[in-house]
Chains A and B, each alone.
Chain A
Amino acid sequence: MVVLILKLYVILVVLIMAIYAVRHYLFTINRLTGDQRLYYHDIVDDELPRISVLVPMHNEEKVARQSLESILACEYPRELMEIIPIDDHSNDRTTEILDEMAADHDVIRPLHRHEGLRGKPAALNDALLLASGEIILVFDADYMPGRGALRDLSISFKDPEVGAVMGRVVPVNTRTNLLTRLLDLERSGGYQVDQQARHNLHLMPQYGGTVGGFRRDLALSFGGFDPRVLAEDTDLTYRLYIGGWKVVYANRVECFEEVPETWSVRSRQIRRWSRGHNHTMFKHFWPLLRSKYLSRAEKIDGMLLLLIYTLPVFLFTGIIDSVILFFMGEMQIIDSVLVFLFVATYSAFGNFAPFYQIATASLLDGVTHRIRLLPFLMFYFLLNIWTVTTGFFQAIGDRLGHRRAKWEKTSRFRTEESA
């Protein structure tokens, strides 16, 4: 009986992996040959909505000034915008920098938080109550939006069905080491192919929490962001879709960000994402399937997206399962040529799917030499398997123990000189 269960589990893992491989191929082929839907950034309109730009900051003295200056340099009518940098329990010079900037620019209205919960969701909740814009745009403190970013993001809310918009994140510190270069490849695949294909196919592009925005009224109607959830962006994405709104992806709205430069920082970041995302998965899985506003394709895509941080867990446990079966001498799982062909085909082509997606993204971006690094992503995936798995079990612990996850800020690597 135990052997049977172990064998069935192996088959389940192979099937799950095959489904995700097909998903990768569908998205990639769509980007290469499919119909590409336009985003709204080509709309030229004199009547723009009032916006509030929120920039959560915790000890961001290295980047605060540059980030705010980038936002100030954006083209948007000053009378229709405000910038709210959120000083979230900072104990470095962030507070002083924000006050200095506010003294020089009326449009900057800092929010200083030195009491209550720390963390992005809690900070955003306080800022939402202060904000006067009907549209909220969010940038992380290390982001430098381009001159047209505010207009290009906010224009999408002319569409009454749009609840949130997401731009593209581009790593700026790619030159640092192999890890930053691998993260650059991963980001390319995730945005240039994955997000855009989902936009093209009327599936579920995701709001990523930065270089994006949402309607203030909707966020408030949901009771703001859940401070227990580490992935407040994914949480909002699913609340919107379940309620009938859409998230649109703006591939043209590109914004530089700093990616982790050490494997330990990256591990912590991934673990936090896994914990938060899986928490969201437990919360929204059934409501997603029951939503009357979503098409069947959206539900399938939404479910696969919700389960994305369980995939390494399946893989990890599947590997352990196969090792156990091997030592038990029970590797003869199904006697069928068809099954053999399926597994062999998956081994040959299925495993290749994420690499194909990333290579396609590089091709679309017009940069090709970097795809020579693709095989090194294997090591990165190995790291992900472990960190995502631990994050998954932490999320289960959060769920069962009703415990509150502690917000952990990703370390910055920028120096005063490089800033």
Chain B
Amino acid sequence: MRRHAYRWLIVALLLVPVIAVSGPASFSPHDASIDTVSALTLDSSLQEIPPYESGARPGAATLLLLCFALLIVLPFVPGLIEVYWPRDRYPLPVDTQYAKDPRFFGRSARAILARSLDVDAVAVGTHEVVMSKPETVVVSAAVTVPENGEQTEIMVVRGDLDVESKATCTGELFVTGDARIGRGAVLRTLSVEAAVSLDAKVRLERWLDAEGDVTIGSECILGMSAATGGAMTLGDGVEFSRLFGAPVSTTGFTGDAGSAPAPKTPAFADVEEIRTIEDLAEFHRDDLIVEPGEDHLRPLVVRGDLTLKAGAVLGNTARVYGDLLMEDGSLVHGDLFVEGDVRVGERAAVRGNLFSQANIHLSRGARVGRPGICKSLIGKLAVHMDADVAVHGYILTDGRGRVSCAGSS
């Protein structure tokens, strides 16, 4: 109805000049000799027509006024319709309940399931429940999805789940025991309360969440997110977007070697001492190369590239505008915020967060974060991890995340 009203109003407004042009009140037969276009463009010939003689002038003036009114009013017509018949008057949708949680998918899905079904008490069998929409949920004890089999319903498994090779599960899977997924299987989502093992070339279309340890085989594709409350091990060729684990490691990781505690950083007793950023941080307008043995205990701001030579140590956090190269065995005790590309060399370590607006490459033996403390590795464009890499906490990339153990030295 509103759409029709809108159309009719536009048609009526467009008809105004037509009526004005063709209406007998505005034009006498003599008017036909006057070129309307000339009138509209105020052609100089019009100036020669004496006013009130031909009767054309009042008609042309009326036409001009109507056109002027039309052009003034027309842009406001859609707005007037929106004012009187609003379709979009509510505030922007702000999710006030949003809080960053790397295990959001699993927790939220389990909460939705728990609201609609008492998983522990409900009988084995098929149930029609309302989750975010009406769904069929199959509740069963331990399940095996056969090779090349297909599971389309949402499934709650009170026991262990085995998905054999090349099986496809398009419904969400909730598992209270362990889950073993065979080679080449395709899953939509997988929520597991114990451990998970994915064989090679498994593809997750959306997410995986587990309470126990997770082992990912080679060349798996991990969808939007893979998260666990335990440890996560990634095989060669795994592709990912978001990972969370304590830690997330790649093939070859056997544990963290103990490291020296962070050095004590200088404190400012009196705010009177602070005038510019140089009173709080080490400020470099150009590139900086840090050699082993140099003391850098204050936060570092580098407007160019930063290179940490092999064995060099930064005692605090750094902000880098260019690229960051951490050569083999170098160490940063704080966080790193980098605009450019980051390369973390072999056995190099960042004890805090590592954030880049570009690409991050972690070479063999690299470490990010420290055991028992959750930190983040964020590379906007890409994150590449070689073998024996460990990140304690969260990994995110908007671009391509990939493990490549074979290519690393």
Contacts and interface: CB of A to CB of B under 8 A. Distances in A.
Interface of A: 37-38, 40-47, 70, 75, 144-148, 151-152, 158-161, 170-175, 178, 181, 184, 188, 217-218, 220-221, 243-245, 254-256, 293, 365, 367-370, 372-376
A375 B79 contact: yes
A44 B94 contact: no
B277 A38 contact: no
A140 to B, nearest CB: 16
B276 to A, nearest CB: 4
Contact of A293 (B86, B94, B276, B376): B276
B401 to A, nearest CB: 14
A161 B380 contact: no
B79 A376 contact: yes
- Contact count band on B: 35 or more
Contacts of A151: 99-100
Nearest to B319: A161
Interface in B100-143: 100, 102
Interface in B269-302: 271-278, 280-281, 283, 299-301
Interface in B344-381: 352-353, 355, 357, 373-376, 378, 380
Nearest to A175: B89
24 contacts: A38-B380, A43-B376, A44-B100, A45-B352, A45-B353, A46-B374, A144-B96, A146-B94, A147-B97, A158-B353, A159-B317, A160-B299, A160-B317, A160-B318, A160-B319, A172-B91, A175-B90, A188-B92, A217-B268, A218-B271, A244-B301, A245-B277, A256-B96, A373-B83
B52 interface: no
Given A45-B376, A47-B373, A218-B274, A370 B88 contact: yes
A29 to B, nearest CB: 19
B96 A44 contact: no
A43 B271 CA distance: 29
B149 interface: no
B253 interface: no
B393 interface: yes
Given A42-B376, A184-B91, A160 B280 contact: yes
A213 B272 CA distance: 21
A161 B301 contact: yes
Most buried by B among A46, A171, A178: A46
Given A37-B357, A221-B271, A372-B78, A160 B281 contact: yes
B95 interface: yes
A42 B100 contact: yes
Contacts of B271: 217-218, 220-221
Contacts of B280: 160
Given A43-B378, A158-B353, A160-B317, A372 B278 contact: no
B81 interface: yes
